[in-house]
Structure 1
């Protein structure tokens, strides 16, 4: 094929790829623009004054942040262990970690009931400690943690695996133990990946619907998060549903933007500091 023929084919492909990108962006962006086009700023603010709207939004923020703290606190060292060791059953462990990603939300809620409900496998032991989860705010945190944890842990594992093994070896050679290496080299080196995973987990927790409804219910002021309130408002106040949806969109966009600005490039810290 002549050079002109190859050049023409290349230009044609670029045009087709650009067209596909424009189509994709249009499909993704138009519904988001429509959230704000359907109602003005004044109506948006007044709709948030609807009974239960502000409470649902505040509950979503509180419970999703609580779930994120649990996920990061437990998931970070767990991801480090999986990433830096080759052990028997590792593939099974990874599969179990990722399973909630493909589990239907309603099935996730039923699984939580079977495990932690009053008649569940661990329900009796939990209640004997005076802890109530079903139809309680704590149950919302449990549901959000269950569905969102894989988003953080997967990203954390990939971030830890990407760290240069020579840096870790140098840290140990300088006398740093496993814990010091994890804190001084591992976490700084995986900072961008950890931030990205945390953002995805938080966004997933904010948008969680099915598992929360099945496990914790939709009690106003106690377990009714913003997604559940949006579903309820659809039947009686579409403007309130639009307002809550728009707020969640803004919060989600802020989370992603913050990760882009703050995540930055991985940072390497000297092991002997």
Structure 2
């Protein structure tokens, strides 16, 4: 099956809820404020509960209980709130594309872990909007679920085939595209911002790793995640591809800190969302 057919299948099976697009517009509108955002969030009772849980969680360590959505918005911030909404939406998408061929809980945990590593590295590099890297990490391998759901036999052959190639090269050889490229194309189709779908789409492009720090950082986070969680291919994973250090100034201390951060925070955040 072609890439376009998987993207079409994803579009037909699941669409980004209207609240994501409306929230993005509010955040980008200089005339909007926390009260405007709070009114939008309150439309969705489930999301309202999660926002309050997040604001009162140890992630923010606010000294008193947060009881209103407007106060929660002020504490969390617009971008972090948008990331939470997208992550919550992604969790729904994961459930929509659930397949017995993929261990969903493990897939979700690895996705959150990748997002946490990427977020920590982005903070280290002092990149603007580091929270968006958390979203990118969660969404990076969304299409693996789409492929497994849509083409179970073909996915099963890919999954069980012995190979010494890195994961993304195995995907390209078997399907004609990588899961990350397919994921990025789906996110573009869902009309997510360019700063989210572009790095996801190009994370395995060596030329773009060289010239784009967002792509290089996400590629590094992806490789760290594979190294920590995919025992089968650990020996084939090259953590520092020669292209990545030229665009990502992350030494081993930064990587160790990112791993510690991810291992500490992944369980907490996945419980808030999952």
Common fold: TM-score over 0.5: no
Smaller-chain TM-score bracket: under 0.3
Instruction: Provide TM-score, normalisation by structure 2.
Output: 0.25
Decide which structure has the larger Cα Rg and report it: 1
Greater RCO structure (CA 8 Å; 6+ sep):
1
TM-score by length of 1: 0.25
